[in-house]
């Protein structure tokens, strides 16, 4: 077996599985890269082991076997795109159990300070599901299935586990409540039809439509306040009204100044009461303090938003750089010092490439990779949280702008009022002066009321602009999505053709038991309909139906090994090698085909299958998992 392996992302390799019964370990087995054979007598517990693999990786078991229910927990060490993680789930008849996840290797996961995270089966507003975490580790997009529900690891694994209990004429692992749309989405996703750009555009389109709906509703609510207004509610009307009222106010103030001059010329010396001046002054000071306070808050918010934008950009760049495990590993492994950074003395040649050139300490590559994986997960969460905080700041900025506009108009009015109160005296013409001041006060209140309307009109104008911007964005997104869907259609066509060719090859290599198989030229399959046929024919003997279903799973895996554009994780569990009366010779031949496919591939993959009649060519090889199981020496030591 070659050691130089290419890796197409995503890829999964199970390294170890442990099953617990309380504090006791009842199963502990290591798995190999590529080919794994779980062998043993019938009814010795092989299927239970494969069910545990399915469940431990995130699948859902609705009908547990009796021996499995005697166990309490399954723990699996997995490589996701080369990064180690430990997954642990409680075994229970209750569905939707959560998963504990540790990002690191086995030995690290059980240290006293090991940082495990507990993730629910279903996502919520405040907590990611374990499917979201695993998808991120694999670099998989979060596709949406039926009724806007997101695809989970359970749905993915239904297309990676050929179990015994599902009907032989179906593709997916059987499930009582299932929809064609969900199946089709899962199949298309694993065929590589979901690219990240299209997915992001679809998510943004969904959010943009929601934003447009919210903006439209808010615009309608605000516009309803002007429902009985006969004139057009525009900024032009607002400015015209403001000019008219200011002209009237200036006229009143001019008349008041003329009255002041008359009073002065008549040598009338007593002025307005000091109490009125003091009250106006206090109002002016308070308005000015409020204005300064609002300006300080707005300036501080601008600095926060600018700083947050730089922080989010840095996180996104960091996440992109961390996604490529090979580049990251090279970066961490490639720093070599020629001179000491402290005293600049030459450093002697390092005799070992597996230790630091400076301090000669040995490298722990896997621990470094585990830290990278944890950073990737944490960075993704930080980006989501930072974007949410930034949206809140934008809303706060709009509210502060509106408050500042109102406060500024109020301050200007109070300043003018105080100016006149400070200048105009009270005389025998005081009654006339009071009329003028009353009229000025009325106009000032009208201007303040107009300012409030102005804030609302400005909000309406901002909402109208936001609507227009969102509509333009939605049109652009629809165009981008249409182009992406064309690319997706082309990808599906290429993927379906490759799968069909590889499945036909498996059928043609079958022993001469089914004439249609020996002449197989085309495989029709539909993920949505959960059906397949060979050369237009869909009904065969029971053993041939098993062979066809196995060939489909194997052909799908082989296609993913050959084409990097697939999002199939290059991982397969099979428990149907000899179902429905499969004769030993035919089973042995198929096992040899599987072994050749997995072992000859230069790409990371893992195939795990169970058999009671192992091929003689594989019987004493290194690919046997654990040991040969019997009725007296069963899989589980319960």
The stretch 347-366 carries a mean pLDDT of 66
Cα separation of 129 and 154, whole Å?
A: 12
Q: Give the model's pLDDT for residue 328.
A: 54
Question: Is residue 635's pLDDT more than 70?
Answer: yes
Helix H or strand E encompassing 610:
strand 606-611
Structure tokens at 552: 């489909």
Q: 14 falls in which pLDDT band (50, 70, 90)?
A: very high
**Buried b / exposed e along 473-509 (16+ C-beta atoms within 10 A):** ebeebeebbeebeeebeebeebbbebbbbbbbbbbeb
274 vs 150, higher pLDDT: 150
Q: Give the model's pLDDT for residue 476.
A: 94
Residue found by looking up tokens 């593709």 in the block: 171
Picking from 619, 535, 624, 550, the residue whose alpha carbon sits closest to that of residue 590 is: 550
Structure tokens at 545: 């139906």
Q: 337 falls in which pLDDT band (50, 70, 90)?
A: low
393 and 304 Cβ atoms separated by less than 8 Å: yes
Q: Give me the torsion for CA of 298, 469, 388, 134, rounded to 10°.
A: -160
Q: What pLDDT digit, counting tens, does each position of 83-134 carry?
A: 999 999 999 999 999 999 999 999 999 999 999 999 999 988 889 999 999 9
Cα separation of 130 and 227, whole Å?
A: 50
**Buried b / exposed e along 181-204 (16+ C-beta atoms within 10 A):** ebbbbbbbbbbbbbbeebbebbeb
Residue found by looking up tokens 């997706």 in the block: 488
Q: Is 80 helix (H, G, I), strand (E, B) or coil?
A: strand
Contacts of 468 (CB under 8 A, 6+ apart): none
Q: Say if residue 351 is exposed, middle or buried (CB neighbours under 10 Å; 0-12, 13-18, 19+).
A: exposed
Q: Give the model's pLDDT for residue 134.
A: 96
Q: What pLDDT digit, counting tens, does each position of 196-226 carry?
A: 677 678 778 988 999 999 989 888 887 776 6
Give percent of the chain with pLDDT exceeding 90.
Answer: 48
The stretch 271-275 carries a mean pLDDT of 54
Q: Give the model's pLDDT for residue 272.
A: 46
Query: Phi and psi for 136 in degrees, rounded to 5?
Result: -65, -40
Q: Say if residue 4 is exposed, middle or buried (CB neighbours under 10 Å; 0-12, 13-18, 19+).
A: exposed
Question: Is residue 333's pLDDT more than 70?
Answer: no
Cα separation of 523 and 504, whole Å?
A: 7
Cα separation of 206 and 304, whole Å?
A: 28
Residue 138 to residues 97, 148, 339, 411, 565: CA-CA distances in angstroms?
Answer: 22, 22, 39, 59, 14
The stretch 153-164 carries a mean pLDDT of 95
38 and 625 Cβ atoms separated by less than 8 Å: yes
DSSP letter for each residue of 87-151: EEEE--SSSS--EEEE-S-HHHHTSTT---EEE-SS--SS---HHHHHHHHHT----B-GGGPBP
Q: Say if residue 221 is exposed, middle or buried (CB neighbours under 10 Å; 0-12, 13-18, 19+).
A: exposed
Cα separation of 606 and 11, whole Å?
A: 9
The stretch 429-442 carries a mean pLDDT of 74
DSSP letter for each residue of 559-607: HHHH-TT----SEEEE--TT-TT--HHHHHHHHHHHHHHHHH-SB--EE
Q: Give the model's pLDDT for residue 267.
A: 42
Q: Give the model's pLDDT for residue 573.
A: 97
560 and 566 Cβ atoms separated by less than 8 Å: yes
183 and 172 Cβ atoms separated by less than 8 Å: yes
Picking from 565, 635, 579, 573, the residue whose alpha carbon sits closest to that of residue 609 is: 573
Cα separation of 193 and 496, whole Å?
A: 11
> What is the C-alpha end-to-end distance of the chain, expressed in Å?
36
Query: What's the whole-number average pLDDT of the chain?
Result: 85
Question: Is residue 1's pLDDT more than 60?
Answer: no
Q: Give the model's pLDDT for residue 198.
A: 75
The stretch 302-316 carries a mean pLDDT of 87
Question: Is residue 350's pLDDT more than 70?
Answer: no
Q: Give the model's pLDDT for residue 153.
A: 96
Residues listed for the chain: 638
Q: Is the peptide bond before 10 cis (omega within 30 degrees of 0)?
A: yes
Cα separation of 225 and 288, whole Å?
A: 30
Contacts of 11 (CB under 8 A, 6+ apart): 79, 80, 81, 82, 569, 570, 571, 603, 604, 605, 606
Give percent of the chain with pLDDT exceeding 70.
Answer: 85
Flag the least confident range among 310-314, 557-561, 615-619: 310-314
Q: Give the model's pLDDT for residue 129.
A: 95
Cα separation of 471 and 461, whole Å?
A: 15
Q: Give the model's pLDDT for residue 110.
A: 92
Q: Give the model's pLDDT for residue 427.
A: 43
Cα separation of 430 and 572, whole Å?
A: 97
Residue 421 to residues 105, 259, 355, 582, 636: CA-CA distances in angstroms?
Answer: 80, 13, 84, 106, 95
Flag the least confident range among 236-240, 282-286, 335-339: 335-339
Longest dimension (CA), the chain: 128
Query: Phi and psi for 194 in degrees, rounded to 5?
Result: -90, 100
Q: 367 falls in which pLDDT band (50, 70, 90)?
A: low
372 vs 590, higher pLDDT: 590
Hey, which residues does 533 pair with through a beta bridge? Answer: 524
Q: What pLDDT digit, counting tens, does each position of 542-587 carry?
A: 899 999 999 999 999 999 999 999 999 999 999 988 877 788 999 9
Q: 232 falls in which pLDDT band (50, 70, 90)?
A: low
Residue found by looking up tokens 């489909």 in the block: 552
Q: 2 falls in which pLDDT band (50, 70, 90)?
A: very low
- Rg of the chain, C-alpha, whole Å: 37
Residue 248 to residues 189, 406, 427: CA-CA distances in angstroms?
Answer: 69, 20, 24
């Amino acid at each position: 077996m070659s050691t130089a392996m290419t890796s197409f992302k995503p890829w999964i390799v199970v390294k170890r599985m442990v099953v617990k019964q309380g504090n006791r370990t009842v199963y502990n087995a290591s798995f190999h890269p590529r080919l794994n054979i779980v062998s043993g007598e019938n009814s010795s517990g092989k299927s239970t082991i494969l069910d545990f693999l399915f469940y431990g990786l995130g699948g859902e078991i609705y009908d547990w076997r009796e021996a499995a229910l005697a166990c309490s927990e399954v723990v699996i060490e997995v490589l996701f795109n080369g990064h180690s993680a430990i997954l642990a789930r409680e075994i229970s008849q209750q569905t939707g159990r959560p998963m504990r996840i540790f990002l690191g290797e086995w030995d690290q996961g059980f240290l006293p300070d090991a940082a495990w995270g507990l993730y629910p089966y279903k996502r919520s507003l405040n907590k990611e599901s374990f499917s979201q975490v695993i998808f991120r580790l694999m670099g998989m997009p979060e596709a949406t299935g039926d009724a806007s529900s997101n695809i989970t690891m359970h749905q993915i694994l239904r297309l990676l586990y050929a179990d015994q209990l599902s009907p032989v004429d179906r593709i997916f692992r059987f499930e009582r409540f299932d929809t064609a749309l969900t199946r089709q989405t899962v199949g298309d996703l694993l065929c590589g039809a979901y690219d990240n750009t299209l997915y992001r555009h679809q998510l943004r389109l969904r959010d943009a439509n929601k934003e447009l709906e919210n903006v439209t509703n808010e615009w309608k609510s605000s516009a309803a306040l002007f429902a009985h207004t006969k004139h057009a509610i525009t900024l032009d009307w607002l400015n015209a009204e403001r000019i008219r009222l200011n002209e009237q106010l200036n006229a009143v103030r001019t008349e008041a100044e003329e009255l002041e001059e008359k009073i002065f010329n008549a040598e009338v010396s007593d002025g307005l009461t000091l109490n009125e001046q003091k009250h106006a002054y206090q109002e002016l000071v308070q308005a000015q303090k409020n204005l300064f306070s609002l300006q300080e808050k707005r300036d501080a918010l601008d600095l926060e938003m600018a700083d947050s934008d730089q922080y989010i950009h840095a996180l996104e760049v960091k996440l992109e750089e961390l996604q490529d495990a090979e580049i990251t590993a090279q970066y961490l492994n490639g720093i070599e010092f020629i001179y000491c950074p402290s005293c600049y003395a030459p450093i002697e040649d390092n005799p070992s490439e597996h230790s630091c050139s400076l301090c000669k300490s040995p490298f722990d590559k896997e621990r470094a990779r585990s830290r990278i994986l944890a950073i990737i997960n944490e960075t993704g969460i930080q980006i989501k949280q930072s974007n949410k905080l930034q949206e809140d700041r934008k809303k706060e900025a709009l509210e502060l702008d509106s408050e500042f506009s109102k406060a500024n108009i109020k301050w200007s009015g109070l300043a003018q009022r105080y100016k006149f109160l400070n200048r105009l005296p009270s005389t025998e013409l005081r009654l006339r002066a009071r009329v003028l001041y009353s009229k000025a006060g009325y106009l000032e209140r009208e201007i303040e009321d107009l300012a409030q309307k102005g804030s609302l009109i400005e909000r309406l104008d901002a909402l109208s602009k936001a609507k227009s911007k969102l509509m333009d964005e939605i049109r652009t997104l629809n165009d981008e999505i249409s182009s992406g869907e064309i690319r997706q259609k082309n990808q599906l066509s290429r993927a379906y053709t490759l799968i069909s060719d590889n499945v036909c090859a498996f059928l043609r290599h079958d022993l001469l038991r089914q004439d249609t198989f020996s002449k197989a030229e085309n495989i029709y399959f539909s993920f949505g309909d959960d059906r397949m046929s060979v050369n237009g024919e869909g009904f065969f003997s029971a053993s041939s139906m098993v062979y066809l279903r196995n060939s489909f799973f194997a052909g799908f895996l082989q296609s993913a090994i050959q084409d990097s554009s697939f999002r199939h994780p290059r991982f397969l569990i099979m428990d149907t090698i000899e179902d429905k009366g499969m004769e030993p010779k035919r089973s042995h031949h198929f096992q040899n085909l599987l072994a050749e496919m997995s072992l000859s591939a230069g790409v990371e993959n893992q195939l795990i299958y169970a058999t009671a009649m192992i091929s003689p060519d594989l019987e004493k090889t290194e690919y046997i998992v654990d040991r040969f199981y019997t009725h007296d020496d069963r899989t589980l030591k319960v």
